Amino acid sequence: VLMANENFEKVVRTNLFGAFYVSKFLAKKMLLKRSGCIVNMASLAGQTGNMGQVNYAASKAGLIAMTKTMAAELGPRGIRVNAVSPGFIETEMIQNIPQLEAFKKQIPLGRFGTVDEVAGVVSFLCSADAAYVNGHTLSVNGGLFPS
């Protein structure tokens, strides 16, 4: 709430509007084939909130709601829409978090996830093995926040 309006708007424009515009572009192409799969990149913060990141958490929560709505709208036309919601993944994004080791201790699997593990989930959601999965947000967080 104490965040500058510009900071809030910038993150929402990037994370939510950006995903909307890309999905809209892709959906137009997929509608012609009546087939396709869109996977949005959500976040644990969109499911739980996160102190000091009202912009990020709100943008990712909006993305989760958008995923469900687009799945309902596009599903009858052969297009599946899902999201992946990573928790703490070993990337530069988490390196400057002061309590990083304390967070790791809270994860039931006792470690951070890897980029390859997130990519594997995205790959699954795009595969024939997930042909009946639509409108779902799949959490990849080592059990930190069970869904």
Q: What is the mean pLDDT of each run of 10 residues along the chain (147 residues)?
A: 92 98 98 98 93 94 99 99 96 84 92 97 99 98 89
pTM of the model: 0.93
Burial class (CB within 10 angstroms; exposed 0-12, middle 13-18, buried 19+) of 6: exposed
Query: Residue 1: its pLDDT value, please?
Result: 75
How far does the chain reach from its first CA to its final CA, in angstroms? Answer: 27
Give 5-140's CATH code, choosing from 3.40.50.720, 3.40.50.410, 3.40.50.300, 3.30.70.270. Answer: 3.40.50.720
Q: Which of 19, 38, 44, 56 is catalytic?
A: 56
Specify whether the backbone of 144 is left (phi greater than 0), alpha (psi in -120 to 50) or beta.
Answer: alpha
Q: Residue 76: how many CB atoms within 10 A of its CB?
A: 8
pLDDT of residue 44: 92
Domain ranges of the chain: 5-140
pLDDT of residue 100: 83
Q: Determine the pLDDT at residue 79.
A: 99
Active site residue 132: no
